Chain A
């Protein structure tokens, strides 16, 4: 069970990179595949549970997470300073692997968080990012993509509209997406039509991250699956979107 032990790591930096959006860098050497995640907490028993977060970026010496203040847990995380310690468990979940050929990564909202690391590891990818309003961290994403397409619902900083409507899967050998359910469902239909495999990284509330609490259950053609343990990556055609 060594790999399932909670470890403690010092915070290197924890900065607000866009309104309400924070990037936290932790010191240490970490393993894991793109789209795997960690359970993070920086408190005792209140709030009770850790928060699941996908890896935003990683090097030999540090790991970075991107998070938005959504509630008390993320609020507490945002108040951490350099040198404060944080508890983390991971890497968890299955992650995704690059298929050969032309590959597109599509992210929406906070779902863009896992795509920077994915793009770096995969290499040679086209990146499609969708935002509600002002796009963030575009300079960082630019450096890791062959081609970067930015969309926002308000039209700020990119094409106006939903990234799932702007994205065209034809010509790609595989697509990888993370974002809101509606976006993934729409991409799933488009990729099915274009006969391009789509891998989706699902986001769900979860208590444990290790397959025990069954809180993150999703309906799939394989039956009910746990996002944390059986996913978070699923083949889009396995997921029952209407469920």
Chain B
């Protein structure tokens, strides 16, 4: 990917503080451009450290010590502003919000949960308005860049997240519908800039506040 000029950001999750640090160290020594700490993954076992400011602080501190690359921290939707502020204080370069929402489905024929782990992460357009609200709130307390995530499927969605205060956005689920969807979003953003005579996104970033 490096050879093709693709910017690569690695997402890392660990079961313990030490595991996080070990993973971050290895990635920091690798060719990746930035490291995203996953403080919340609803699809794997373990405590969601991102839900508590103290545990989030400890993990980010341990990671920061061994990380020479930009360190991003991805938060669960229910993290709260204190967790985001703790992450910022520990030296994160950016906050990514939000991860998926824990959700479940029940198969009414068997009467059992559909997912092996009972709950799983809900993503896609269903979470977008909630994610947008969280990004908006985080933007009012954070000084470091905020990367907006949550159901962004069209370029219009991306614009809304920027207007809420995001410096960049991530697109996940929309790629599952169409692998070229991210390209459509980038092109749409370009057209919007031209039409609105925007030369730099700074001009509209956070304008909804």
Contacts and interface: CB of A to CB of B under 8 A. Distances in A.
Contacts, number: 35
B106 to A, nearest CB: 14
Nearest to A214: B43
Interface size class of A (residues with CB under 8 A): 10 to 19
A88 to B, nearest CB: 11
B177 interface: yes
Nearest to B183: A1
Interface in A86-128: 89
B177 A4 contact: no
B188 interface: no
Contact of A6 (B125, B126, B173, B178): B178
A108 B34 CA distance: 48
B176 A1 contact: no
A86 to B, nearest CB: 14
A190 interface: no
B110 interface: no
B153 A45 contact: yes
A215 to B, nearest CB: 8
A33 B183 CA distance: 29
B180 interface: yes
A208 B179 CA distance: 8
Contact of A48 (B124, B175, B179, B180): B124
Contacts of A210: 179
B25 to A, nearest CB: 24
B179 A1 contact: yes
Interface string B190-209: 00000000000000000000
A67 B179 CA distance: 24
A5 B180 contact: yes
A162 interface: no
A145 B125 CA distance: 46
B176 A207 contact: yes
A212 B180 contact: no
B180 A207 contact: no
A4 B173 contact: no
A210 B126 CA distance: 22
Contacts of A1: 179-180
Given A45-B125, A45-B153, A213 B176 contact: yes
B178 A48 contact: no
A220 to B, nearest CB: 16
Contacts of B180: 1, 4-6
A207 B153 contact: no
Given A45-B125, A45-B153, A50 B179 contact: no
Contacts of B175: 208, 212
Given A1-B179, A48-B124, A208-B176, 10 more contacts: A1-B180, A4-B180, A5-B180, A48-B125, A48-B173, A50-B177, A89-B178, A207-B173, A212-B175, A213-B176
Interface of B: 124-126, 153, 173, 175-180
